[in-house]
Amino acid sequence: MQAVPRPHTGPVARGVSGARSREQRRDEEFTDYLHARQPALMRTAYLLTGDLHTAEDVLQTALAKLYLAWDKVHDRGATDAYVRRIMVNEHNSLWRRGWKKRERATETLPDAASPHRHDDGTGDALWQLVRSLPPKARAVVVLRYYEQLTEAETADVLGISTGTVKSQCSRALATLRDRAPADLDPRTPEADR
């Protein structure tokens, strides 16, 4: 009677198995992060770009880059900051490419945004004003006030100095105040209606 050969259980077989389980753990961690943070990151991308389709592209690119660098992100608490930085850089790259090279869907109109149930009607008007800001000023306003980052954190994400964040923020807010209709400006008596 011949002996049945046993499968090889040496270091090579364990190495492949260990690598597979490491990849599976990485994929599970990334998937968990994606499920938990994707909606918030999508809102940030939309506020940065002002366009749903561009926001989806920017976020998809950012998440793809995050996936490729997942093992290099040792501080999981800083993952959102890392993704925001990628989104800002990607949006700036799109913005620098110019209007002629951007894709624009024209056959169908985008879905209309449904108003938030706590919105008093000024939210959409306010974001229309924010969308009218230049891309860098809009990025400062979104990160500083929507994402509620500190000036230092905003500067770090954008790769600029804290002083630049302060000055751009000040100019952006002054522009928004100048462009705001009387019913949006809290300094006017009409806003008390």
The answer, as to whether pTM is greater than 0.75, is no
Model confidence at 41: pLDDT above 90: yes
| CATH class of the domain defined by 17-97 | mainly alpha
Are 147 and 44 within 8 A, CB to CB?
Answer: yes
Q: Do domains 17-97 and 121-193 have the same CATH topology?
A: no
pLDDT in tens, 111-137: 655 555 555 566 677 778 888 888 889
Q: How many helices (H) and strands (E) does the chain have?
A: 7, 0
The confidence score (pLDDT) of residue 18 equals 56
Report d(CA 49, CA 47) in Å as an integer. 6
> Closest Cα to residue 159, out of 88, 93, 91, 96?
88
- State both tokens at 28: 């599970």
Q: Give the model's confidence band at 78: pLDDT under 50 very low, under 70 low, under 90 confident, else very high.
A: confident
pLDDT at 92: 83
The pLDDT mean for the chain works out to 77
> Domain 121-193 has what CATH class?
mainly alpha
Rounded Cα distance between 48 and 143, Å, is 9
Residue 42, pLDDT > 90, answer yes
Residue 191 — pLDDT band, cuts 50, 70, 90?
very low
Where residue 190 falls among pLDDT bands split at 50, 70, 90?
very low
42 φ/ψ angles, rounded to the nearest 5 degrees: -65, -40
Whether residue 152 has pLDDT greater than 50: yes
Q: Where are the domains of the chain?
A: 17-97, 121-193
